[in-house]
Amino acid sequence: MNMYDLIQKKKTGGALTQEEIYWMVNGFTNGEIPDYQMSAMMMAIFFKGMTREETLHLTMSMAKSGEMLDLSKIPGIKADKHSTGGVGDKTSLALLPMVSACGLNIAKMSGRGLGHTGGTIDKLESFPGFRTDISIETFEKNASELGIALMGQTAELAPADKKLYALRDVTATVDQMSLIASSIMSKKLAAGADLIVLDVKTGSGAFMKSEEDSRALGEEMVRIGKDAGRKVSAVISDMDQPLGRAVGNILEVKEAIATLKGEGPQDFTKLCMTLGCQMLLAGGVAGSIDEAEMKLFEVVKNGSALNKLADLVKGQGGDASYVYEPDKLDQAPLKVEVKAPASGFIQRILCDEVGLCSLILGGGRRTKEDVIDLRVGLVLEKKVGDEVREGDVIAVLHAADEKSAGEAMERYLAAVTIGAEKPEERKLIHGIIE
Ligand code: URA
Protein backbone atom coordinates (compact mmCIF):
# COMPACT_ATOMS: atom_id res chain seq x y z
CA MET A 1 0.00 0.00 0.00
CA ASN A 2 1.28 3.47 -0.65
CA MET A 3 -0.11 6.91 0.06
CA TYR A 4 0.28 8.17 -3.51
CA ASP A 5 -2.14 5.50 -4.78
CA LEU A 6 -4.66 6.24 -2.02
CA ILE A 7 -4.64 9.98 -2.81
CA GLN A 8 -5.06 9.16 -6.50
CA LYS A 9 -7.98 6.83 -5.70
CA LYS A 10 -9.79 9.43 -3.59
CA LYS A 11 -9.04 12.23 -6.07
CA THR A 12 -10.81 10.29 -8.81
CA GLY A 13 -13.84 9.60 -6.61
CA GLY A 14 -13.06 6.11 -5.36
CA ALA A 15 -13.96 4.81 -1.91
CA LEU A 16 -11.14 3.81 0.43
CA THR A 17 -11.37 0.40 2.07
CA GLN A 18 -11.28 -0.24 5.81
CA GLU A 19 -7.74 -1.61 5.50
CA GLU A 20 -6.58 1.44 3.54
CA ILE A 21 -8.07 3.89 6.03
CA TYR A 22 -6.56 2.16 9.08
CA TRP A 23 -3.17 1.96 7.30
CA MET A 24 -3.32 5.68 6.46
CA VAL A 25 -4.42 6.84 9.93
CA ASN A 26 -1.86 4.65 11.73
CA GLY A 27 0.90 5.76 9.36
CA PHE A 28 0.04 9.42 9.83
CA THR A 29 -0.18 9.12 13.63
CA ASN A 30 3.22 7.47 13.96
CA GLY A 31 4.87 9.91 11.54
CA GLU A 32 5.44 7.56 8.59
CA ILE A 33 3.04 9.45 6.35
CA PRO A 34 4.15 13.07 5.95
CA ASP A 35 1.89 16.10 6.43
CA TYR A 36 2.03 17.02 2.73
CA GLN A 37 0.54 13.71 1.63
CA MET A 38 -2.12 13.78 4.35
CA SER A 39 -2.96 17.38 3.37
CA ALA A 40 -3.51 16.28 -0.22
CA MET A 41 -5.73 13.47 1.02
CA MET A 42 -7.79 15.86 3.16
CA MET A 43 -8.30 18.14 0.17
CA ALA A 44 -9.32 15.18 -2.00
CA ILE A 45 -11.84 14.17 0.68
CA PHE A 46 -13.02 17.75 0.85
CA PHE A 47 -13.95 17.67 -2.84
CA LYS A 48 -15.02 14.04 -3.26
CA GLY A 49 -16.56 13.30 0.16
CA MET A 50 -16.70 9.97 1.94
CA THR A 51 -19.24 7.16 2.00
CA ARG A 52 -20.98 6.14 5.21
CA GLU A 53 -18.60 3.16 5.52
CA GLU A 54 -15.50 5.26 4.92
CA THR A 55 -16.63 7.80 7.54
CA LEU A 56 -17.19 5.06 10.09
CA HIS A 57 -13.76 3.50 9.40
CA LEU A 58 -12.09 6.91 9.65
CA THR A 59 -13.86 7.56 12.97
CA MET A 60 -13.01 4.17 14.44
CA SER A 61 -9.40 4.24 13.26
CA MET A 62 -8.94 7.64 14.92
CA ALA A 63 -10.74 6.53 18.09
CA LYS A 64 -8.48 3.46 18.27
CA SER A 65 -5.30 5.46 17.62
CA GLY A 66 -4.99 5.97 21.40
CA GLU A 67 -6.59 4.87 24.60
CA MET A 68 -10.21 3.58 24.36
CA LEU A 69 -11.68 4.10 27.82
CA ASP A 70 -13.43 1.09 29.27
CA LEU A 71 -16.11 2.36 31.63
CA SER A 72 -17.56 -1.09 32.32
CA LYS A 73 -16.53 -0.87 36.00
CA ILE A 74 -19.07 1.96 36.43
CA PRO A 75 -22.50 0.40 36.97
CA GLY A 76 -25.48 1.23 34.78
CA ILE A 77 -25.66 3.27 31.63
CA LYS A 78 -22.90 5.86 31.29
CA ALA A 79 -24.03 9.06 29.62
CA ASP A 80 -22.08 11.81 27.90
CA LYS A 81 -23.08 15.02 26.18
CA HIS A 82 -21.28 17.10 23.59
CA SER A 83 -21.89 20.55 22.21
CA THR A 84 -20.43 21.73 18.93
CA GLY A 85 -19.67 24.98 20.76
CA GLY A 86 -21.24 28.35 21.25
CA VAL A 87 -21.31 31.61 23.14
CA GLY A 88 -22.72 31.57 26.67
CA ASP A 89 -23.01 27.80 26.39
CA LYS A 90 -22.89 26.70 30.02
CA THR A 91 -25.28 23.82 29.36
CA SER A 92 -23.16 21.01 30.82
CA LEU A 93 -22.94 22.79 34.17
CA ALA A 94 -26.69 22.71 34.70
CA LEU A 95 -27.82 19.79 32.53
CA LEU A 96 -25.46 17.12 33.82
CA PRO A 97 -26.28 17.57 37.55
CA MET A 98 -29.99 17.56 36.64
CA VAL A 99 -29.72 14.34 34.67
CA SER A 100 -27.47 12.70 37.26
CA ALA A 101 -29.94 13.63 40.03
CA CYS A 102 -32.57 11.75 38.00
CA GLY A 103 -30.45 8.59 38.18
CA LEU A 104 -28.23 8.51 35.10
CA ASN A 105 -24.46 8.13 35.57
CA ILE A 106 -22.48 10.94 33.98
CA ALA A 107 -18.95 10.16 32.86
CA LYS A 108 -17.79 12.99 30.63
CA MET A 109 -14.59 14.26 29.13
CA SER A 110 -14.54 17.97 28.41
CA GLY A 111 -12.33 20.52 26.73
CA ARG A 112 -11.17 24.06 27.38
CA GLY A 113 -12.40 27.13 25.56
CA LEU A 114 -10.61 28.41 22.49
CA GLY A 115 -11.34 31.51 20.40
CA HIS A 116 -14.82 32.94 20.84
CA THR A 117 -16.31 29.80 22.45
CA GLY A 118 -15.96 28.74 26.08
CA GLY A 119 -15.15 25.37 27.63
CA THR A 120 -16.69 23.50 30.55
CA ILE A 121 -13.34 22.76 32.18
CA ASP A 122 -12.50 26.46 32.53
CA LYS A 123 -15.92 27.21 33.94
CA LEU A 124 -15.68 24.48 36.56
CA GLU A 125 -12.27 25.76 37.61
CA SER A 126 -14.12 28.85 38.88
CA PHE A 127 -14.73 26.76 42.03
CA PRO A 128 -11.62 27.10 44.18
CA GLY A 129 -9.71 23.82 44.33
CA PHE A 130 -11.69 22.06 41.57
CA ARG A 131 -9.52 19.70 39.55
CA THR A 132 -10.16 18.12 36.20
CA ASP A 133 -6.77 16.43 35.89
CA ILE A 134 -8.05 13.54 38.01
CA SER A 135 -6.87 9.94 37.54
CA ILE A 136 -9.01 7.50 35.66
CA GLU A 137 -9.51 5.67 38.99
CA THR A 138 -11.02 8.79 40.61
CA PHE A 139 -13.09 9.37 37.47
CA GLU A 140 -14.51 5.84 37.66
CA LYS A 141 -15.00 6.00 41.43
CA ASN A 142 -16.86 9.32 41.33
CA ALA A 143 -19.00 8.31 38.36
CA SER A 144 -19.95 5.10 40.25
CA GLU A 145 -20.45 6.54 43.72
CA LEU A 146 -21.61 10.09 43.03
CA GLY A 147 -23.16 9.46 39.62
CA ILE A 148 -21.16 12.30 38.11
CA ALA A 149 -17.54 12.80 37.06
CA LEU A 150 -15.94 15.09 34.56
CA MET A 151 -12.35 15.10 33.45
CA GLY A 152 -10.16 17.03 31.04
CA GLN A 153 -9.47 15.33 27.76
CA THR A 154 -6.19 13.42 28.02
CA ALA A 155 -3.49 13.54 25.36
CA GLU A 156 -3.92 9.78 24.89
CA LEU A 157 -7.49 10.20 23.67
CA ALA A 158 -7.72 9.93 19.85
CA PRO A 159 -4.20 11.30 19.13
CA ALA A 160 -4.77 10.80 15.39
CA ASP A 161 -7.57 13.34 15.50
CA LYS A 162 -5.43 15.81 17.41
CA LYS A 163 -2.74 15.65 14.73
CA LEU A 164 -5.19 15.61 11.84
CA TYR A 165 -7.27 18.49 13.21
CA ALA A 166 -4.14 20.65 13.51
CA LEU A 167 -3.33 19.85 9.87
CA ARG A 168 -6.88 20.55 8.66
CA ASP A 169 -6.86 23.82 10.53
CA VAL A 170 -3.99 25.17 8.41
CA THR A 171 -4.97 23.59 5.09
CA ALA A 172 -8.55 24.93 4.83
CA THR A 173 -10.04 21.44 5.18
CA VAL A 174 -11.93 21.77 8.46
CA ASP A 175 -15.37 22.41 7.00
CA GLN A 176 -16.11 19.03 5.47
CA MET A 177 -19.02 17.14 7.01
CA SER A 178 -17.47 13.64 7.23
CA LEU A 179 -14.22 15.06 8.58
CA ILE A 180 -15.95 17.10 11.29
CA ALA A 181 -18.29 14.26 12.23
CA SER A 182 -15.47 11.70 12.43
CA SER A 183 -13.29 14.11 14.41
CA ILE A 184 -15.94 14.78 17.07
CA MET A 185 -17.20 11.20 17.23
CA SER A 186 -13.73 9.63 17.44
CA LYS A 187 -13.19 11.49 20.73
CA LYS A 188 -16.67 10.69 22.03
CA LEU A 189 -16.37 6.98 21.20
CA ALA A 190 -12.90 6.76 22.75
CA ALA A 191 -14.26 8.39 25.93
CA GLY A 192 -16.36 5.28 26.43
CA ALA A 193 -19.94 6.35 27.23
CA ASP A 194 -22.85 4.12 26.16
CA LEU A 195 -25.16 7.03 25.54
CA ILE A 196 -24.23 10.30 23.88
CA VAL A 197 -26.47 13.30 23.35
CA LEU A 198 -25.15 15.85 20.89
CA ASP A 199 -26.09 19.51 20.98
CA VAL A 200 -25.47 20.68 17.42
CA LYS A 201 -25.57 24.45 17.27
CA THR A 202 -26.87 26.42 14.33
CA GLY A 203 -26.75 30.15 13.49
CA SER A 204 -24.26 32.99 13.37
CA GLY A 205 -22.33 31.90 16.48
CA ALA A 206 -22.15 28.25 15.49
CA PHE A 207 -19.65 26.26 13.55
CA MET A 208 -22.43 25.43 11.08
CA LYS A 209 -24.28 28.62 10.17
CA SER A 210 -27.23 27.11 8.28
CA GLU A 211 -29.88 24.81 9.68
CA GLU A 212 -29.41 22.48 6.72
CA ASP A 213 -25.69 22.00 7.42
CA SER A 214 -26.25 21.60 11.16
CA ARG A 215 -28.87 18.95 10.52
CA ALA A 216 -26.61 17.12 8.08
CA LEU A 217 -23.79 17.15 10.66
CA GLY A 218 -26.16 15.88 13.37
CA GLU A 219 -27.41 13.09 11.11
CA GLU A 220 -23.89 12.04 10.17
CA MET A 221 -22.79 11.89 13.82
CA VAL A 222 -25.88 9.98 14.94
CA ARG A 223 -25.27 7.49 12.11
CA ILE A 224 -21.64 7.00 13.13
CA GLY A 225 -22.64 6.48 16.77
CA LYS A 226 -25.27 3.92 15.84
CA ASP A 227 -22.88 2.10 13.49
CA ALA A 228 -20.42 1.98 16.38
CA GLY A 229 -23.06 0.44 18.65
CA ARG A 230 -23.75 3.44 20.90
CA LYS A 231 -27.02 5.21 21.65
CA VAL A 232 -26.73 8.63 20.07
CA SER A 233 -29.19 11.42 19.44
CA ALA A 234 -28.73 15.03 18.41
CA VAL A 235 -30.62 18.22 19.22
CA ILE A 236 -30.22 21.06 16.73
CA SER A 237 -30.31 24.22 18.83
CA ASP A 238 -30.09 27.89 18.08
CA MET A 239 -26.86 29.85 18.40
CA ASP A 240 -27.82 32.98 16.50
CA GLN A 241 -27.54 34.98 19.72
CA PRO A 242 -25.78 34.02 22.97
CA LEU A 243 -27.48 31.37 25.09
CA GLY A 244 -28.99 32.75 28.30
CA ARG A 245 -27.68 36.10 29.46
CA ALA A 246 -24.23 35.46 30.89
CA VAL A 247 -21.03 35.14 28.83
CA GLY A 248 -17.78 34.59 30.73
CA ASN A 249 -16.69 31.86 33.09
CA ILE A 250 -17.78 32.82 36.63
CA LEU A 251 -20.79 34.72 35.28
CA GLU A 252 -21.90 31.57 33.46
CA VAL A 253 -21.36 29.42 36.54
CA LYS A 254 -23.67 31.76 38.47
CA GLU A 255 -26.30 31.50 35.74
CA ALA A 256 -26.05 27.70 35.73
CA ILE A 257 -26.51 27.66 39.54
CA ALA A 258 -29.56 29.93 39.20
CA THR A 259 -30.94 27.53 36.59
CA LEU A 260 -30.43 24.58 38.92
CA LYS A 261 -32.58 26.48 41.41
CA GLY A 262 -35.29 27.07 38.79
CA GLU A 263 -34.37 30.72 38.38
CA GLY A 264 -32.50 30.58 35.07
CA PRO A 265 -33.22 32.36 31.78
CA GLN A 266 -36.03 30.84 29.78
CA ASP A 267 -34.04 29.84 26.66
CA PHE A 268 -31.26 28.20 28.63
CA THR A 269 -33.72 26.35 30.88
CA LYS A 270 -35.61 25.09 27.82
CA LEU A 271 -32.44 23.79 26.19
CA CYS A 272 -31.44 21.95 29.38
CA MET A 273 -34.91 20.42 29.56
CA THR A 274 -34.84 19.31 25.91
CA LEU A 275 -31.40 17.73 26.15
CA GLY A 276 -32.25 16.27 29.57
CA CYS A 277 -35.39 14.60 28.20
CA GLN A 278 -33.34 13.01 25.41
CA MET A 279 -30.82 11.68 27.91
CA LEU A 280 -33.43 10.30 30.33
CA LEU A 281 -35.39 8.64 27.53
CA ALA A 282 -32.34 7.08 25.90
CA GLY A 283 -31.02 5.98 29.29
CA GLY A 284 -34.30 4.27 30.18
CA VAL A 285 -34.82 6.50 33.23
CA ALA A 286 -38.08 7.82 31.79
CA GLY A 287 -40.57 6.20 29.44
CA SER A 288 -41.97 9.36 27.87
CA ILE A 289 -41.10 13.01 27.35
CA ASP A 290 -43.77 13.98 29.90
CA GLU A 291 -42.27 11.68 32.51
CA ALA A 292 -38.74 12.91 31.75
CA GLU A 293 -39.84 16.54 32.09
CA MET A 294 -41.56 15.82 35.37
CA LYS A 295 -38.44 14.17 36.77
CA LEU A 296 -36.25 17.08 35.67
CA PHE A 297 -38.64 19.63 37.20
CA GLU A 298 -38.73 17.63 40.43
CA VAL A 299 -34.94 17.47 40.93
CA VAL A 300 -34.74 21.22 40.41
CA LYS A 301 -37.62 21.85 42.79
CA ASN A 302 -36.41 19.57 45.57
CA GLY A 303 -32.81 20.82 45.38
CA SER A 304 -31.23 17.48 44.46
CA ALA A 305 -29.92 18.83 41.12
CA LEU A 306 -28.08 21.63 42.92
CA ASN A 307 -26.79 19.13 45.50
CA LYS A 308 -25.47 17.03 42.61
CA LEU A 309 -23.40 19.96 41.35
CA ALA A 310 -22.04 20.28 44.89
CA ASP A 311 -21.18 16.54 44.83
CA LEU A 312 -19.32 17.01 41.56
CA VAL A 313 -17.36 19.99 42.89
CA LYS A 314 -16.52 18.34 46.23
CA GLY A 315 -15.70 15.00 44.60
CA GLN A 316 -13.02 16.68 42.51
CA GLY A 317 -11.37 18.71 45.27
CA GLY A 318 -13.40 21.90 45.00
CA ASP A 319 -15.07 23.98 47.68
CA ALA A 320 -18.77 23.10 47.39
CA SER A 321 -19.88 25.98 49.63
CA TYR A 322 -19.62 28.20 46.53
CA VAL A 323 -22.44 26.20 44.92
CA TYR A 324 -24.76 27.39 47.69
CA GLU A 325 -23.22 30.85 48.05
CA PRO A 326 -22.23 31.82 44.48
CA ASP A 327 -21.81 35.46 45.47
CA LYS A 328 -18.56 34.39 47.12
CA LEU A 329 -17.11 33.68 43.65
CA ASP A 330 -14.58 36.26 42.48
CA GLN A 331 -15.94 39.38 40.80
CA ALA A 332 -14.35 41.65 38.23
CA PRO A 333 -13.41 45.06 39.70
CA LEU A 334 -15.32 47.08 37.08
CA LYS A 335 -18.93 46.88 35.99
CA VAL A 336 -19.63 49.06 32.98
CA GLU A 337 -23.08 49.56 31.51
CA VAL A 338 -23.63 49.50 27.76
CA LYS A 339 -26.53 51.77 26.83
CA ALA A 340 -28.83 51.61 23.81
CA PRO A 341 -27.76 54.24 21.25
CA ALA A 342 -31.34 54.44 19.87
CA SER A 343 -34.90 53.40 20.61
CA GLY A 344 -36.54 50.43 18.91
CA PHE A 345 -36.29 46.64 18.99
CA ILE A 346 -33.12 44.60 19.34
CA GLN A 347 -33.07 42.95 15.95
CA ARG A 348 -29.77 41.14 15.98
CA ILE A 349 -26.89 40.37 18.37
CA LEU A 350 -23.92 38.95 16.48
CA CYS A 351 -22.97 35.95 18.48
CA ASP A 352 -19.32 35.58 17.46
CA GLU A 353 -18.80 39.24 18.24
CA VAL A 354 -20.16 38.83 21.76
CA GLY A 355 -17.73 35.93 22.21
CA LEU A 356 -14.97 38.24 21.01
CA CYS A 357 -16.03 40.90 23.55
CA SER A 358 -15.49 38.34 26.28
CA LEU A 359 -12.11 37.51 24.72
CA ILE A 360 -11.16 41.21 24.69
CA LEU A 361 -12.12 41.46 28.36
CA GLY A 362 -9.70 38.58 29.08
CA GLY A 363 -12.27 35.79 29.43
CA GLY A 364 -11.12 33.71 26.48
CA ARG A 365 -8.00 32.34 24.82
CA ARG A 366 -6.48 33.36 21.50
CA THR A 367 -3.92 30.56 21.78
CA LYS A 368 -3.96 27.41 23.89
CA GLU A 369 -1.29 28.90 26.18
CA ASP A 370 -3.23 32.07 27.13
CA VAL A 371 -4.23 32.43 30.78
CA ILE A 372 -7.85 33.50 31.20
CA ASP A 373 -9.45 35.81 33.75
CA LEU A 374 -12.39 33.82 35.12
CA ARG A 375 -14.09 36.93 36.56
CA VAL A 376 -14.71 38.90 33.37
CA GLY A 377 -17.41 38.77 30.70
CA LEU A 378 -20.79 40.28 29.93
CA VAL A 379 -24.37 40.01 31.05
CA LEU A 380 -26.93 40.73 28.33
CA GLU A 381 -29.79 42.75 29.81
CA LYS A 382 -31.68 42.84 26.51
CA LYS A 383 -31.92 40.10 23.93
CA VAL A 384 -33.25 39.80 20.39
CA GLY A 385 -36.91 40.91 20.21
CA ASP A 386 -36.74 43.12 23.33
CA GLU A 387 -37.92 46.71 23.02
CA VAL A 388 -35.52 49.39 24.25
CA ARG A 389 -35.46 53.15 24.68
CA GLU A 390 -32.38 55.18 23.93
CA GLY A 391 -30.16 55.11 27.02
CA ASP A 392 -31.54 51.83 28.43
CA VAL A 393 -28.90 49.43 29.69
CA ILE A 394 -28.59 46.64 27.12
CA ALA A 395 -25.61 44.85 28.66
CA VAL A 396 -23.20 45.07 31.58
CA LEU A 397 -19.51 44.47 31.01
CA HIS A 398 -17.54 42.88 33.85
CA ALA A 399 -14.00 44.07 33.23
CA ALA A 400 -10.56 43.98 34.78
CA ASP A 401 -9.63 47.49 33.56
CA GLU A 402 -10.92 50.57 31.71
CA LYS A 403 -8.99 49.86 28.52
CA SER A 404 -10.47 46.42 27.85
CA ALA A 405 -13.92 47.71 28.89
CA GLY A 406 -13.69 50.54 26.34
CA GLU A 407 -12.67 48.18 23.54
CA ALA A 408 -15.38 45.64 24.42
CA MET A 409 -18.01 48.39 24.64
CA GLU A 410 -17.22 49.58 21.11
CA ARG A 411 -17.33 46.03 19.80
CA TYR A 412 -20.58 45.21 21.60
CA LEU A 413 -22.33 48.27 20.25
CA ALA A 414 -21.25 47.30 16.73
CA ALA A 415 -22.58 43.76 17.29
CA VAL A 416 -26.09 44.91 18.17
CA THR A 417 -28.66 46.11 15.64
CA ILE A 418 -31.60 48.18 16.86
CA GLY A 419 -34.45 48.91 14.44
CA ALA A 420 -38.05 49.99 14.32
CA GLU A 421 -39.51 46.56 13.49
CA LYS A 422 -39.87 43.73 15.97
CA PRO A 423 -37.90 40.83 14.45
CA GLU A 424 -39.46 37.46 13.81
CA GLU A 425 -38.83 35.09 16.69
CA ARG A 426 -36.27 32.37 15.96
CA LYS A 427 -36.87 28.86 17.21
CA LEU A 428 -34.59 27.67 20.02
CA ILE A 429 -34.92 24.00 19.08
CA HIS A 430 -34.63 23.45 15.34
CA GLY A 431 -35.03 19.69 15.48
CA ILE A 432 -34.15 16.40 17.13
CA ILE A 433 -32.42 13.52 15.37
CA GLU A 434 -32.89 10.15 17.04
N1 URA B 1 -14.61 20.13 16.56
C2 URA B 1 -13.86 19.01 16.47
O3 URA B 1 -13.53 18.39 17.47
N4 URA B 1 -13.47 18.62 15.24
C5 URA B 1 -13.80 19.25 14.10
O6 URA B 1 -13.42 18.83 13.03
C7 URA B 1 -14.58 20.42 14.22
C8 URA B 1 -14.98 20.83 15.46
Q: Would you list the DSSP string of 114-179?
A: BTTB--HHHHHTTSTT--S---HHHHHHHHHHTSEEEEEPPTTSSHHHHHHHHHHHTTT----HHH
Q: Is residue 87 within 8 Å of residue 239, measured between CB atoms?
A: yes
Domain boundaries, the chain: 3-49, 78-158+165-326, 331-419
> pTM to 2 decimals?
0.93
Other Cβ atoms within 10 Å of 197 Cβ, number: 27
Task: Produce one character per residue of 288-321: b if its CB has 16 or more CB atoms within 10 Å, e if not.
Answer: eeeebbebbeebbeeebbbbbbbbbbbbbebebe
The sign of the CA dihedral 223, 224, 226, 231 is negative
Q: Pairing relation of β-strands 416-419 and 148-152?
A: unpaired
CB atoms within 10 A of CB 365: 18
Indicate which atom in ligand 1 lies nearest the CA of residue 187.
Answer: 3
DSSP 102: T
Cα of 183 from ligand 1 centre, angstroms: 5
- Cα separation, 165 vs 179, whole angstroms: 9
Ligand 1 pocket, residue 165 CB under 6 Å? yes
- Topology, domain 78-158+165-326: Pyrimidine Nucleoside Phosphorylase; Chain A, domain 2 (3.40.1030)
Question: What class, spelled out in words, does domain 331-419 have in CATH?
Answer: alpha beta
Give yes or no for residue 183 CB within 6 A of ligand 1.
yes
Rounded to the nearest angstrom, the distance between the alpha carbon of 171 and the centre of ligand 1 is: 14
Find the catalytic residue in 183, 214, 233, 237.
Answer: 183
CA distance 178 to 161: 13
Two domains, one topology: 3-49 and 331-419: no
Whether residue 183 lies in the annotated active site: yes
What is the gyration radius of the CA atoms in the chain, in angstroms? 22
Distance 180 CA to ligand 1 centre (A): 5
Q: Which of the listed residues 117, 177, 179, 184 should we mutate to test ligand 1's pocket, taking the one with most ligand atoms within 8 A of CB?
A: 184
352 a catalytic residue: no
According to CATH, the topology of domain 3-49 is: 1.20.970
List C-alpha distances in Å: 123 to 26, 85, 111, 262, 410. 35, 14, 10, 20, 26
Concerning whether 168 is annotated as a catalytic residue, the answer is: yes
By CB atoms closer than 10 A (0-12, 13-18, 19+), residue 229 is exposed
Instruction: Give pLDDT tens digits along the chain (434 positions).
Output: 999 999 999 999 999 999 999 999 999 999 999 999 999 999 999 999 999 999 999 999 999 999 899 899 898 999 999 999 889 999 999 999 999 999 999 999 887 666 666 688 889 999 999 998 888 889 999 999 999 999 887 778 899 998 998 899 889 898 899 999 999 999 999 999 999 999 999 998 888 889 999 999 999 999 999 999 999 999 999 999 999 999 999 999 999 999 999 999 999 999 999 999 999 999 999 999 999 999 999 999 999 999 999 999 999 999 999 999 999 999 999 999 999 999 999 999 999 899 999 999 999 877 777 789 999 999 999 999 999 999 999 999 999 999 999 999 999 999 999 999 999 999 999 999 98
